[in-house]
């Protein structure tokens, strides 16, 4: 049975993790996720992606029993592959929204961190509990988390391994929106559809500018922004948007494929 499936709703695709009972990541699930993400990266008709683990939970991390049976070299290769897969999620050219229900722990939280926006159920629980096992996060937890919430807050979560509820996660900036349980996927889809109606090239350029600009100096970041701005200016969506603004006023443009 497939552990990752794609559910299409017009220009929005939900990447559904379906590996009960805990959606834990093992090699088979990681391989399936990587394959599906690569399909999406090249799909011109996909304009936004939602990550979803189902109504019960998002994902509860790695398969610890499988990891316990590995030696150091095997663990290194397994971790490198999972890290690369989550990087591919983060590098998708279209907006990615995580719909977090139940638990998002360890690798599950690291997958959510690879999204551009996170919607959480009011009863969701998030955390990086690896330190409680005598290990550490290895698939982006020490890097994406600090960029999202700052070093002190990130170290607190990483060094204690404590779990946080949705409201605290919202206050920390770990999630962007909290909604009633049972409405998470709908809320994520609603936001994803809103983004999917926007200019695809501009959204991709904005994502690239923010993600890459954060890791370089301001001067280099401004040069990157300038290059991306110039490239976007020549797209069909830019022509449509500018003409609509002049003729109809702001917010009236309807964008299509470039």
Q: Are 203 and 143 in contact (CB under 8 A)?
A: no
Q: How far is CA 114 from CA 10, 84, 174, 233, in A?
A: 23, 11, 12, 28
- 3-class secondary structure per residue, 2-16: CCEEEEEECCEEEEE
3-state secondary structure of 254: coil
Q: Which residues contact 205 (CB under 8 A, 6 or more apart)?
A: 228, 229, 231, 232
How far is the C-alpha of 5 from the C-alpha of 32, rounded, in Å?
Answer: 9
Catalytic residues: 110, 130
Reported residue count of the chain is 258
The residues pairing with 192 across neighbouring beta strands, listed in sequence order, are none
Surface-to-core class of residue 225, CB atoms within 10 Å of its CB (0-12 exposed, 13-18 middle, 19+ buried)? middle
DSSP at 62? B
**Closest among 107, 128, 120 to 168, alpha carbons compared:** 120
- Indicate the pairing of strand 48-52 with strand 103-105: unpaired
DSSP at 114? T
How far is the C-alpha of 91 from the C-alpha of 114, rounded, in Å?
Answer: 8
């Amino acid at each position: 049975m497939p552990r990752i499936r794609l559910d299409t709703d017009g220009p929005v695709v939900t990447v559904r993790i379906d590996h009960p009972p805990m959606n834990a990541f093992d090699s088979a699930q990681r391989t399936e996720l990587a394959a599906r993400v690569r399909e999406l990266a090249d799909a011109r008709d996909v304009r936004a992606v939602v990550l979803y683990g189902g109504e019960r939970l998002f994902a509860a991390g790695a398969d610890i029993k499988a990891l316990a049976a590995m030696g150091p070299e095997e663990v290194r290769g397994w971790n490198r592959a999972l890290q690369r897969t989550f990087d591919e999620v983060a590098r998708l050219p279209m907006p990615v929204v995580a719909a977090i229900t139940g638990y998002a722990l360890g690798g599950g939280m690291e997958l959510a961190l690879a999204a551009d926006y996170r919607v959480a159920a009011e009863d969701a629980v998030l955390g990086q509990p690896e330190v409680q096992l005598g290990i550490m996060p290895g698939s982006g937890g020490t890097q994406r988390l600090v960029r999202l919430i700052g070093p002190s807050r990130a170290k607190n979560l990483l060094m204690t391994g404590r779990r946080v509820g949705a409201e605290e996660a919202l206050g920390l900036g770990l999630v962007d929106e909290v909604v009633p349980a049972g409405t998470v996927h709908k809320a994520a889809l609603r936001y994803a559809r809103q983004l999917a109606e926007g200019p695809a090239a501009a959204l991709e350029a904005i994502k690239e500018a923010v993600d890459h600009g954060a890791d370089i100096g301001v001067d280099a970041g401004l040069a990157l922004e300038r290059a991306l701005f110039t490239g976007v200016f020549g797209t069909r969506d830019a022509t449509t948007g500018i003409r609509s603004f002049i003729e109809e006023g702001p917010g009236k443009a309807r964008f299509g494929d470039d």
